[in-house]
């Protein structure tokens, strides 16, 4: 937990039964159970492909394998309407506790206890199954840190440090609890609209089967599947800093639901991510906020939390609870661990141990790449012995016909506006609701609001 940068463990999971969880094995294990797939296009544009722009279908893993293997459409089920050359499929964010609810013995195939978290297994994990080209938009997680086991195929991770925050042009639209998205397509950036992105420094690694990636708190990440089929398993490790993050997330949800609900609905404005069940009421959001504040104050009273400057790097972290907590979904079929009592797990990290991490063949850092001398899509791939660099893609100078970049005077961000052919004297609406929200919901602003709120209730 003292690692400050992303790192890959090569020999930690060699004896885990979960390594046999390839797509074929899972298809047999799930025996025709339907799961939800996200379908995206393989064409790479200059804008991120958010989940709101994808289509969705319910299918079995047998049908996914048939489609991915080029079998006749009659055996592909709902995939038959999608050309494999043009589309990718991603069964992402599947809680293993839900997928295997009738097979709890399989939870033991995953042994996060080997990393020093007693009792943590598949019950506190999430499953990801994708085809070549499947991707997750660049984002950071508001809560905890992340451990990811690669089971089948290879995945390329593009990671950016928290200090690159402003260079990634953060946004909360589409809105998802605990996820801050980037408005930049990091593998094909539009530097005209997002010029500061060239200052961001990518840490790129291709994760191989059997390897485990550690993603520290608040590191941005864009993930893409390289091979025809990829399977990975992850678990979020809660940190004490999450208590304050829950307050910030509650403030964010309260504001965005209030403002977007007041706006005239537009079919083209898909601001709520498909992972969110519904727009919760203002009363519900205030209840969530009050519970988050109460939880923070209770932990503060017990002496567990020390209030720290958000800009100060944490050299000590303490763990509490086994799962990444997402929003309270009142009507969700599957409640996450927010309502499930967890046995607390504590681990003190001494500052003097920070310089004693034994990097080598079995544990290596994901090193930064200079955007001035290396391509941002270059992958640093390891076979546990050597570092291999792969070239992929390239930065291109891009422009959008019929659009101009308008500077937002508050955030300094560029907002694309369609060229209507009007003269400079013609009245135009430059600032829209989403522009306002990008400023109001900027995590730095929300963090300040949380501090002011805590000062008010602590008096």
**Per-domain boundaries in the chain:** 7-236+362-390, 242-335+442-458, 403-436
Give the CA dihedral 206, 223, 221, 107, nearest 10 degrees.
-90
What pLDDT, on a 0 to 100 scale, did the predictor assign at position 414?
39
319 Cβ contact partners less than 8 Å away, ≥ 6 residues apart: 1, 117, 237, 238, 239, 240, 345, 346, 347
Q: Are strands 135-141 and 179-182 parallel, antiparallel or unpaired?
A: antiparallel
Q: Return the structure tokens found at 436.
A: 């306002």
Round to whole Å and give the CA distance between 422 and 46: 26
**Residue with token string 């660049």:** 138
- Give the contacts of 371 (CB within 8 A, at least 6 positions apart): 198, 199, 200, 201, 202
pTM: 0.80
The pLDDT tens digits along the chain (459 residues) read: 888 899 999 999 999 999 999 999 999 999 999 999 999 999 888 999 999 999 999 999 999 999 999 999 999 999 999 999 999 999 999 999 999 999 999 999 999 999 999 999 999 999 999 999 999 999 999 999 999 999 999 999 999 999 999 999 999 999 999 999 999 999 999 999 999 999 999 999 999 999 999 999 999 999 999 999 999 999 999 999 999 999 999 999 999 999 999 988 776 678 999 989 889 999 999 999 999 999 999 998 887 544 444 443 333 333 333 344 443 333 333 334 333 333 344 444 444 455 678 899 999 999 998 633 344 334 434 443 333 333 333 333 333 333 434 334 333 343 444 444 444 455 566 899 999 999 999 999 999 999 999 999 987
User: What is the pLDDT, as a whole number, of residue 428?
Assistant: 66
CA neighbor of 127 nearest in space, from 105, 150, 108, 104:
150
**307 contacts: CB under 8 Å, gap ≥ 6:** 300
Q: What is the pLDDT of residue 79?
A: 98
What does the pLDDT read at residue 354? 54
Short-list 39, 37, 149, CA closest to 91? 37
DSSP string, 163-219: GGGGGG-EEEEEEETTEEEESS-TTS--TTT-GGGGG--EEEEEEPTT-EEEE-TT-
pLDDT the model gives residue 321: 36
* Of 220, 245, 215, 240, nearest in space to 349 by CA: 240
Looking at the domain covering 7-236+362-390, what would its CATH class be?
mainly beta
């Amino acid at each position: 937990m003292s690692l400050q940068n992303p790192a890959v463990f090569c020999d930690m999971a060699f004896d885990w039964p979960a390594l046999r969880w390839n797509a074929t094995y899972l298809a047999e294990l799930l025996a025709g159970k339907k799961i939800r797939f996200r379908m995206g296009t393989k064409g790479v544009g200059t804008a991120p492909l958010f989940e709101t722009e994808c289509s969705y279908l319910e299918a079995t893993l047998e049908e996914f394998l048939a489609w991915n293997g080029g079998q006749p459409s009659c055996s592909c089920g709902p995939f038959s309407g999608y050309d494999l050359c043009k589309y990718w499929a991603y069964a992402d964010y599947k809680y293993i506790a839900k997928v295997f609810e009738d097979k709890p013995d399989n939870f033991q195939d995953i042994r996060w206890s080997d990393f020093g978290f007693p009792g943590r297994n598949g019950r506190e994990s999430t499953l990801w199954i994708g085809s070549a080209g499947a991707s997750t938009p660049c984002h950071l997680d508001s809560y905890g840190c992340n451990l990811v086991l690669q089971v089948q195929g290879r995945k390329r991770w593009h990671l950016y440090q928290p200090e690159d925050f402003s260079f990634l042009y953060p946004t909360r639209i589409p809105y998802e609890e605990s996820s801050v998205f980037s408005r930049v397509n990091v593998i094909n950036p539009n530097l005209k609209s997002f010029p500061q992105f060239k200052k961001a420094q990518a840490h790129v690694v291709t994760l191989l089967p059997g390897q485990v990636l550690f993603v520290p708190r608040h590191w941005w990440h864009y993930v893409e599947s390289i091979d025809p089929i990829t399977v990975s398993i992850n678990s979020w490790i809660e940190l004490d800093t999450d208590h304050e993050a829950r307050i910030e997330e509650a403030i964010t949800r309260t504001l965005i639901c209030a403002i977007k609900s007041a706006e005239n609905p537009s079919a083209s404005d898909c601001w709520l991510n498909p992972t969110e069940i519904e727009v919760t009421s203002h009363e519900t959001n205030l209840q969530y906020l009050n519970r988050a504040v109460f939880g923070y104050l209770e932990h503060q009273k017990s002496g567990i939390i020390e209030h720290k400057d958000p800009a100060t790097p944490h050299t000590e972290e303490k763990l509490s609870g086994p799962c990444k907590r997402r929003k309270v979904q009142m009507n969700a079929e599957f409640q996450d661990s927010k309502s499930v009592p967890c046995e607390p797990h504590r681990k003190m990290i001494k500052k003097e141990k920070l310089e004693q991490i034994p990097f080598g063949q079995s544990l290596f850092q994901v090193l930064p790449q200079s955007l001035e001398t290396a391509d941002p899509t270059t992958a640093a791939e390891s076979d546990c012995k050597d570092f291999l660099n792969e070239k992929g893609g390239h930065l291109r100078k891009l422009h959008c016909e019929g659009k101009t970049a308008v500077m937002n005077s508050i955030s300094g961000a560029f907002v694309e506006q369609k060229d209507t052919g009007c003269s400079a004297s013609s009245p135009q609406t430059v600032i829209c609701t989403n522009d306002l929200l990008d400023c109001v919901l900027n995590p730095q602003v929300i963090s300040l609001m949380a501090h002011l709120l805590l000062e008010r209730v602590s008096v």
